[in-house]
Structure 1
Amino acid sequence: MASAINRVGFRFTGKSRGTTKLWNTFGWIRSTQVSKNYFTYSPQVSQVLDREPKWVSADEAVQCIKSGDTVFVGGAASTPIEVLRSMADYGKQKKLKNVRVCSMHTEFESPYSEPECEGIFRPTAFFISANLRKCINEGRGDAIPLMLHDIPYLFERKLIPVDVSIITVSPPDNHGFCSLGTSVDCIRSALSHSKVIIAQVNKYMPRTFGEAIIHQSHIDFAVKHDRELPSHGDKEPTPTESAIGKHIAENLVEDGATLQMGIGAIPDATLSCLKDHKDLGIHSEMFSIGVIDLVRSGVVTNQNKKLDRGLIVSSFLVGNKKLYDFVDNNPLICMRQVSYTNNVHVISQQPKMTAINSCIEVDLTGQVVSGSIGKRLYSGYGGQVDFIRGSAEGFDGKGKPIIALGSTNPKTKDERGVPSSKIVPLIKEGATVVTTSAHVHYVVTEFGVASLFGKSLRQRAHALINIAHPEHREWLEKAAFERLKTMPCA
């Protein structure tokens, strides 16, 4: 039995001595009195075990999934789309039922969320990606409101027991180590508490370090499938986005600051305006291509950081081939779980911590809507509050929590035919407030910077109206008076 276990690569699902459950492609089998001296199981996925993965096709790998299972899916640029397509086909063929599929943010299509998969798969999002919005808003999937730093605790506290994890990794090196590449986020915690691991092995996945390392001996089924990673961030910023980036760079980012940038064009536009700054650092849940030129020009040095000095710390990456080539085998890049990158106590120790995040709308009291467009669920909590609060609590008292948005939404128009204002008297019915008015310090549009911390409601309204689009200022002032029963003033 011992040699068979070693040869086919069964995975232990418990650490106790005596009878231990093992899994193979034919179902559960049971071995008795397996000695820990021969085969020591460790949930730490960088620990080297005496076993090999079983190399199979995607169709073969997914046969371990059964009705009622919980499946975790790695996401962002590392979404294992080939295996997910096979999983969707297998579920329909075998008429599986009630398979819960959990993810943080996935790219490509999501075949398991299509209407014909209702009852077979139930998508569950910790942060709603574009490919799951329709499914969740139609009631065929679930969203869990959650701060980004809390997601790993779902697995560590066994609130979501994981039967199967499906991930993407780089090919193993000479020592058998693979890399999670572009996404560590909550993946490492899910893997450590998963009964079975399926890995799509992709030669295009860059090798990154930190907590991104996983030894191949923890992989049960390895599926070779090479494909280019998804590409984002190639668009030039609009004049509005460039103006916002310039306001932030010139007024709020100091030399020696540590930066966090949320997802979107505005953070990228801000980075392009920082070429004359000095000794910046990066501590962020993600970063994109705008960082590369700042590193190469010596603007980003990370030398002033109190933690991880000299390193760019991130949890996941979204960009294009330029970014993926930059991080590949680059010891400057340290990938960590979101429970570290987004920990308020870690963030607050960084010098002049400057957090730049965007949103959907802001009301005149400073409430920030980021999770939904009215009742329509759009994204989630993400890491916005983690970094807004962490920068506000900065040990040096020089942190800058920033919410940045264009003053209008060009896709919608009001009754006058004017693009609708994103600064509003009242948030839309059902809208998800991610960052409260008590958290907000700075709000930036293309028309300037509003400083709200310590301001009364009428002072906040005045500051926000002054950075609203001129077409909306008179209307907003009247609406503020109706709401506050007093005129906005400085």
Structure 2
Amino acid sequence: MAPIVCTSALEAVSLIQSGETLWTHSMGATPKLLLNALAEHALSRQDLTLLQLHTEGAESLSNDNLKGHLRHRCFFGGMPTRRLLQQGDADYVPIFLSEVPKLFRSGEQKIDTAIIQVSPPDKHGICSLGISVEATLAACQVAGKIIAHINPQMPRTHGDGFIHYSKIAAVYEESSALPQHPLAASDAVSLAIGNNVAELVRDGDCLQMGIGAIPDAVLSCLGNHKDLGIHTELFSDGVLNLVELGVVNNSKKKVHPGKIVTGFALGSQRLYDYVDDNPSVIFMDIEQVNDTAIIRKNPNVMAINSALQLDISGQICADSLGTKIYSGVGGQMDFIRGAGLSEGGRSVIALPSTASGGKVSRIATVLSPGAGVVTTRAHVHYVVTEYGYVNLRGRSLIERARALIDIAHPDFREQLCRETFDMWGLSV
């Protein structure tokens, strides 16, 4: 059955009725035109729930006038939802990223409408989810109806992200630029962390990393490595630079050798042009990308992640600032566990030693009240700051404390030693 072809984004989202649970395509494929229209349409509806991961440029849906009309239910927080989450006007669901598709496919979380952004259909009538497959493929498979923005600027990508035009209920077509994230500028701290992490990367490793100043700095320090592979939830320009240098060739991988495996891409137009119709880059369902059983099949997996805070026993908080939700659980534990089970695998938590302009130590004696433990102290392996790196695997609590204080900012080391003695009665 052919979809309704709409002349405006508002006409397309008008199919949404009160009480519906919606899913929105996320990351760089956030259907901003449809979501802006939804912000207007929702005012004539009641009790809409919008499920989402991180969205780009969807601030219109965070307007206070939408209270009672639309409420966000976030598996990951970002700029458009962070304020709402922190003031109690949106809901946060802690969950491993790998399990979000399972939540949909099992029926535990119903979806009435999926709102997506896709490429135009090819000669076979197939559209591509483009630069962001993540959990959207699963959402489309279970949704009662699909509303799509067809964007000629959306790359056609290889892998899992295909949907037939006939499966869509309503379409609106308009050419629109995708959000871009240029490489972060490296400051002295990020570059020092990058160099420290690079010392832990070995030739032939299979890398996972995120986006931001620290991952970009790490990637910029790997130019002299060889035969690196990529199996990661997020693919960015820093990886593309290493591909062009021949450093990344995916030759040592056992899962999809010779190919980059990812769940979504976010970067420059150069990156989007690279992944367009490129069979060497596979965009897969995040249930597969982040499956620990699949990750561990590659040897020498190197998982590189960050944190907001950690305590001297090794507990990692990555989703909140105390009780205030900042981001989400994401795929950190998926990959840390996968790397830990991989032959020769390692994981790294890399973070600056301080926050708030140097006023606060990110390495604390205990986590802030209400802080969420994303990675347990039983899973943590390497921790890296600008002052060095330490290996916590197999270390006792007191050995961990001594090691972490050594890579804390010098201004806080004496205080950490004193607090540790007061807490455990042991001198570090």
Q: Distance in 2 between matches of 1:225 and 1:76?
A: 19
Per-residue deviation, 1:433: 1.2
Contact 2:94-2:328 at 8 Å conserved across structures: yes
Per-residue deviation, 1:53: 5.3
Per-residue deviation, 1:112: 2.6
Per-residue deviation, 1:303: 1.1
Contact 1:148-1:381 at 8 Å conserved across structures: yes
| Cα deviations by residue, 1:3-24 (Å, 9 ceiling, x for unpaired) | xxx4xx3xxxxxxxxxxxxxxx
* Structure 2 counterparts to residues 4-43 of structure 1, below 5 A: 6=1, 9=2
Per-residue deviation, 1:296: 1.3
Contact 1:53-1:218 at 8 Å conserved across structures: no
Q: Distance in 2 between matches of 1:246 and 1:340?
A: 31
Q: In structure 2, what is the equivalent of residue 450 of structure 1?
A: 390
1:66 to 17, 41, 45: 17
Q: Distance in 2 between matches of 1:242 and 1:223?
A: 44
Contact 1:53-1:216 at 8 Å conserved across structures: no
* Structure 2 counterparts to residues 67-146 of structure 1, below 5 A: 67-92=18-43, 94=44, 96-146=45-95
Q: CA RMSD in A?
A: 1.2
Q: Aligned partner of 1:403: which letter?
A: I
Contact 1:97-1:119 at 8 Å conserved across structures: yes
Poorly superposed stretches of 4+, deviation over 6 Å: none
Contact 1:264-1:358 at 8 Å conserved across structures: no
Q: Aligned partner of 1:457: which letter?
A: L
Contact 2:24-2:116 at 8 Å conserved across structures: yes
Q: In structure 1, what is the equivalent of residue 354 of structure 2?
A: 408
SS across alignment from 1:245: helix
Q: Aligned partner of 1:406: which letter?
A: P
Percent identity (aligned): 43
Q: Distance in 1 between matches of 2:184 and 2:93?
A: 31
Per-residue deviation, 1:113: 2.7
* Structure 2 counterparts to residues 247-286 of structure 1, below 5 A: 247-250=196-199, 252-286=200-234
Q: Distance in 2 between matches of 1:147 and 1:431?
A: 17
Tell me whether 1:322 sits opposite 2:270 in the alignment.
yes
Q: Distance in 2 between matches of 1:321 and 1:444?
A: 31
SS across alignment from 1:444: strand
| Cα deviations by residue, 1:300-335 (Å, 9 ceiling, x for unpaired) | 111111111111000011111121111111111100
Q: In structure 2, what is the equivalent of residue 293 of structure 1?
A: 241
Q: Distance in 2 between matches of 1:463 and 1:57?
A: 59
Contact 2:183-2:238 at 8 Å conserved across structures: no
Contact 2:35-2:58 at 8 Å conserved across structures: no
Q: In structure 2, what is the equivalent of residue 399 of structure 1?
A: 345
Q: Distance in 2 between matches of 1:487 and 1:223?
A: 66
Tell me whether 1:441 sits opposite 2:381 in the alignment.
yes
Q: In structure 2, what is the equivalent of residue 355 of structure 1?
A: 303
Tell me whether 1:465 sits opposite 2:405 in the alignment.
yes
TM-score, normalization by structure 1: 0.85
Q: Aligned partner of 1:433: which letter?
A: V
Q: Distance in 2 between matches of 1:459 and 1:323?
A: 43
Contact 1:262-1:384 at 8 Å conserved across structures: no
Q: Aligned partner of 2:12: which letter?
A: A
Tell me whether 1:474 sits opposite 2:414 in the alignment.
yes
Per-residue deviation, 1:235: 2.8
SS across alignment from 1:434: coil
Q: Distance in 1 between matches of 2:96 and 2:201?
A: 25
SS across alignment from 1:135: helix
Q: In structure 1, what is the equivalent of residue 317 of structure 2?
A: 369
1:163 to 112, 119, 123: 112
Contact 1:97-1:121 at 8 Å conserved across structures: yes
Q: In structure 2, what is the equivalent of residue 193 of structure 1?
A: 142
SS across alignment from 2:379: coil
Q: Aligned partner of 1:61: which letter?
A: A
Q: Distance in 2 between matches of 1:113 and 1:131?
A: 6
Q: Distance in 2 between matches of 1:355 and 1:235?
A: 20
Tell me whether 1:386 sits opposite 2:337 in the alignment.
no
Per-residue deviation, 1:210: 0.3
Q: Aligned partner of 1:407: which letter?
A: S
TM-score, normalization by structure 2: 0.98
Per-residue deviation, 1:349: 1.0
Q: Aligned partner of 1:269: which letter?
A: A
Per-residue deviation, 1:338: 1.1
2:122 to 159, 166, 173: 173
Q: In structure 1, what is the equivalent of residue 181 of structure 2?
A: 232
Contact 1:53-1:217 at 8 Å conserved across structures: no
Q: Distance in 1 between matches of 2:151 and 2:162?
A: 15
SS across alignment from 2:94: coil
Q: Distance in 1 between matches of 2:93 and 2:360?
A: 30
2:252 to 287, 304, 310: 304
Contact 1:245-1:266 at 8 Å conserved across structures: yes
SS across alignment from 2:22: strand
Q: Aligned partner of 2:21: which letter?
A: T
Contact 2:184-2:212 at 8 Å conserved across structures: no
Contact 1:113-1:121 at 8 Å conserved across structures: no
Q: In structure 2, what is the equivalent of residue 15 of structure 1?
A: none
Q: Distance in 2 between matches of 1:68 and 1:53?
A: 22
- Equivalences, count: 428
Per-residue deviation, 1:233: 3.1
**Which structure has more RCO (C-alpha within 8 Å, separation ≥ 6)?**
2
Q: Distance in 2 between matches of 1:202 and 1:83?
A: 12
SS across alignment from 1:64: coil
Q: Distance in 2 between matches of 1:136 and 1:471?
A: 33
Q: Distance in 1 between matches of 2:325 and 2:144?
A: 32
Q: Aligned partner of 2:13: which letter?
A: V
Contact 1:152-1:339 at 8 Å conserved across structures: yes
SS across alignment from 1:91: helix
Contact 2:36-2:58 at 8 Å conserved across structures: no
